[in-house]
Chain A
């Protein structure tokens, strides 16, 4: 029915997730860190939609979940950016490695 195996979609999602993860944990610019997190969420979405079609029990639920994820991701991006702006106002930097108040 389909000439593309399910593992190909999953592998693509895996690669994108790894790239996003690497970016999220290495990039110094907070904006890029946020974008990387969006990329990871997108990779998850691919998985959801893939299983929605090729899973053991195909159903529309996977796509609905992907929609929810997108919604949450959008909200997260907005709040994350707001936090970034607030931090920038206080510390005059967007470099994540200078935000070390957690050190206590």
Chain B
């Protein structure tokens, strides 16, 4: 039972969950982001266990790298010395906690003894090549659409984030 795979899974899962819990409980924003990096890396490890080496690599590159850095930029560009009292009370948190727990239990009832007979697969053999073939044959249209989406997101982000010079000029005139 205690195979290497199992031990690896347990360790990675533990790190991921601890990172998530720290995200909730830490007070400083920077610490939260750092805690989350652990989680992301652990998830990449989980992907490896699931014979998805390419996804694991992408996970580390995009999440642990790019998104975390973007978030850090976001944090640095804004002010975080806010000490004002939260507007909403604790009741909502309690309410939400109960809801989340109920949701978790309900879903867990559905999955805890899920037993799908395992079928032989060859996902671990030339994983990246398989994804590449699939992407460029079967999923070519979604793939191309993704590029459009990224372009739109890029332009949208620039438009939103850039200073509105016209407005400022008008404001100065007035």
Contacts and interface: CB of A to CB of B under 8 A. Distances in A.
Answer yes or no: A and B touching, Cβ < 8 Å: yes
Interface of A: 1-4, 6-12, 14-16, 18-23, 25-26, 28-29, 31-32, 34-36, 38-39, 42, 45-46, 49-50, 52-61, 63-64, 66-68, 70-79, 81-86, 88-89, 92-95, 97-98
B111 A4 contact: no
User: Is the contact region of chain B dominated by helix, strand, or loop, or is it mixed?
Assistant: helix
A30 to B, nearest CB: 8
B104 A18 contact: yes
Interface of B: 1, 3, 5-6, 9, 13, 16-17, 20-21, 23-24, 29, 32-33, 36, 39-40, 43, 46-47, 49-52, 54-55, 58-59, 62-63, 66-67, 70-71, 73-75, 77-80, 82, 84, 86-88, 92-93, 96-97, 100-101, 103-104, 107-108, 111-116, 118-121, 123, 127, 130-131, 134-135, 138-139, 142, 146, 149-150, 152-154, 156-161, 163
A8 to B, nearest CB: 7
